[in-house]
Amino acid sequence: GVLQASRTSGPSRSSKKFAAIMLDFDNFKKINDTYGHVAGDRAIVLAADLLRKSIRKGDFVSRYGGDEFLIVLEQCSDSTPTRVIRRIRENAQKFNHDNMLPYAIDFSVGYKVYSSLRGLSSQQIFSGIDELMYQNKHSKTKTTV
């Protein structure tokens, strides 16, 4: 059928999409101030490890600034980022439950899906994602009682 034909013909160059996800480690400054820099450094390592375990092998995660991370998802669909973010949240919840640390690992998140890298500067790629991330962070602080 049609599905089989499209599967065997393979993706065309133009249909390859990628996504950039920016994550801000919630309450990192508070962790540092309350429990010290050694605990803060450990929290960053634990957060990075959690992110690495939440993505596919070919995808990329990097620390981006003090308490921010960047994930690049290669060859993804429009729904891939939301699936990855859900997996990150589930893994964080499980980690926090299992480890009983005096703080929780959680993230504010923003992402964009791009159809092509051609002609895009890194500034164009990141502009707007951090804004979405901060909107997510702000919506959390407003709802916290």
What amino acid positions are annotated as catalytic residues? 67
Q: Which backbone phi and psi does 82 adopt, to 5 degrees?
A: -65, -35
Q: How far apart are CA 52 and CA 38, in angstroms?
A: 21
Q: What is the side-by-side order of every strand in the sheet holding 107-114?
A: 60-63, 68-73, 18-25, 107-114
Query: DSSP assignment of 25-37, as one string?
Result: ETTHHHHHHHH-H
d(CA 110, CA 125): 12
- Distance of alpha carbon 139 from its chain centroid, rounded? 17
As given in the structure block, the two tokens for residue 141 are 């602080």
